Amino acid sequence: MLIATLKDIAKQAGVAVGTVSRVLNGDTTLSVATDTRQRIFAAAEALNYTKHQRAQPQSGGTVAVMPWYTEADETGDLYYRAIRWGVENQLSQDGFDLVRVFPGDDFPETNDLIGMIAIGKYSPAQLKAFKAKKLPLVVIDQDVLGADVACVVPDFQSPLAAIAQYFLAEGHSKIGMLAGKEATTDHVALTDLRPALFSSAVVAAGGHQPQIITGKFTTESGYQTMTKALDDMPEAKRPTAWFVASDTMAIGAIKALQEHGVSVPEQVRVIGFNDLAVGRFLTPALSTVHVPTAELGQAAVHLLTDIRNGTYTQPLKLTISSTLQLRQS
């Protein structure tokens, strides 16, 4: 069987080899259109690229990579897809095979399975089922240390404190947050820590309690939730600075603001979260929190290896720093 190369993917996707390399390594600092990223991912999948990219001739075993979204849902979520590619590229570099286990898939029955990396958010029942496999396990993007499971998470506290301080330094006395709600695939509601952390950060910095409204982590919900907030609030009470819990929501929120005749950033500041490349192509370019997706995936692989090697005998949590990226909004 022929082994696919970056050049093969670039040819099929119609882009430069360097662009393919940076996209597949989860480089969210690269300014590239969403449809271009999707073409690259699709070409890599079609050519079975990840499966064969190993420096070593012998496999160190097989790791189950488990996204919490279905394969169809993940196609529209560049954040989690970028994390998965960070995991898979690092596994390949370290000489491991991998098997993807999407929700609803049967768990692979193989003696070669040496560990599990779960990407996303999980209920106590789901975590219990993972632990029952008696394999080294690392979860990415959810703090599950309390469930006795190792995890890798992005830092929330530092960038939220930076946002609060920035808003107050600009003289904003009315601050708002557009939060999101979500649930696990077995329908257990999840609690996002950021509303509480952001509220505490604003108050600690000398501001008033921010107004928090909640929608879903989609562009449509960002638009609809912000539209309702603008319609319901008297103009004098509207926040002049908004922290939005995801870039996808922020895109919809900015559209709602503009349709209500509210200019961004002249009248209202907006800061998102995740640093999706599409945010750089907005007018105005979206200020946001950069989350290093590739590093989250890489760190999870290293942690899994250390657990297997006995370096760590107790579960631990690794927190990867996130940084505020100020642009035009």
- Angle subtended by helix axes 78-93 and 34-46, to nearest 10: 40
Q: Return the number of other C-beta atoms located less than 10 Å from residue 109's C-beta.
A: 6
Shared domain for 268 and 314, answered yes or no, is: no
pLDDT of residue 36: 74
Count, in order, helices (H) and strands (E) of the chain. 12, 12
Q: What spatial distance separates the first Cα and last Cα of the chain, rounded to whole Å?
A: 49
Q: Among 22-36, 107-121, 205-219, which is the least confidently predicted range? A: 22-36
Identify the CATH number of the domain in which residue 251 sits.
3.40.50.2300
d(CA 329, CA 44): 34
* β 175-181/241-244 pair status: parallel
Shared domain for 127 and 206, answered yes or no, is: no
Shared domain for 286 and 296, answered yes or no, is: no
Shared domain for 133 and 236, answered yes or no, is: no
Does 124 have pLDDT greater than 60? yes
- Rounded to an integer, the average pLDDT of 174-184 is 94
Q: Tokens for 61?
A: 């075993």
Q: Provide the domain count of the chain.
A: 2
- Rounded to an integer, the average pLDDT of 225-252 is 94
- Rounded to an integer, the average pLDDT of 83-92 is 90
- Answer yes or no: is 26 within a domain: no
Does 75 have pLDDT greater than 70? no
Shared domain for 168 and 283, answered yes or no, is: yes
- Answer yes or no: is 24 within a domain: no
Residue 277's pLDDT band, with cuts at 50, 70 and 90, is confident
d(CA 150, CA 105): 23
- Answer yes or no: is 265 within a domain: yes
Q: Report which of 32, 37, 96, 90 is spatially closest to residue 63, judged by C-alpha positions.
A: 96
Q: Tokens for 79?
A: 């954040």
CA distances from 54 to 60, 84, 94, 228 (A): 10, 17, 7, 51
Quote the DSSP letter at residue 94: T
Shared domain for 176 and 112, answered yes or no, is: no
Beta bridge partners of 154: 320
Q: In what order do the strands lie in the sheet with 317-320?
A: 97-100, 62-67, 113-119, 137-140, 150-154, 317-320
Shared domain for 149 and 162, answered yes or no, is: no
Residues across the chain? 329
- Answer yes or no: is 37 within a domain: no
The string of pLDDT tens digits covering residues 13-71 is 888 877 877 777 656 556 666 667 767 776 776 666 754 443 444 467 889 999 987 66
pLDDT of residue 43: 73
Q: Tokens for 269?
A: 């500041």
Does 106 have pLDDT greater than 60? yes
Q: Among 6-10, 96-100, 262-266, which is the least confidently predicted range? A: 6-10
d(CA 303, CA 312): 9
- Answer yes or no: is 12 within a domain: no
- Answer yes or no: is 280 within a domain: yes
pLDDT of residue 141: 95
The string of pLDDT tens digits covering residues 151-169 is 999 999 999 999 999 999 9
d(CA 14, CA 17): 9
Q: In sequence order, what E strands does the chain have? A: 62-67, 97-100, 113-119, 137-140, 150-154, 175-181, 211-216, 241-244, 269-271, 288-290, 317-320, 323-325
Looking at the chain, the whole-number percentage of residues with pLDDT higher than 90 is 58
d(CA 104, CA 84): 18
Shared domain for 225 and 256, answered yes or no, is: yes
Shared domain for 140 and 188, answered yes or no, is: no
User: Domain range for residue 229?
Assistant: 157-290
Q: Which residue has the higher pLDDT, 71 or 103?
A: 103
pLDDT of residue 54: 38
pTM higher than 0.75 for the full model? Answer: yes
Q: Report which of 234, 236, 172, 232 is spatially closest to residue 208, judged by C-alpha positions.
A: 172
d(CA 157, CA 112): 39
pLDDT of residue 31: 66
Shared domain for 124 and 165, answered yes or no, is: no
Shared domain for 130 and 277, answered yes or no, is: no
- Answer yes or no: is 327 within a domain: no
- Answer yes or no: is 34 within a domain: no
Shared domain for 192 and 253, answered yes or no, is: yes
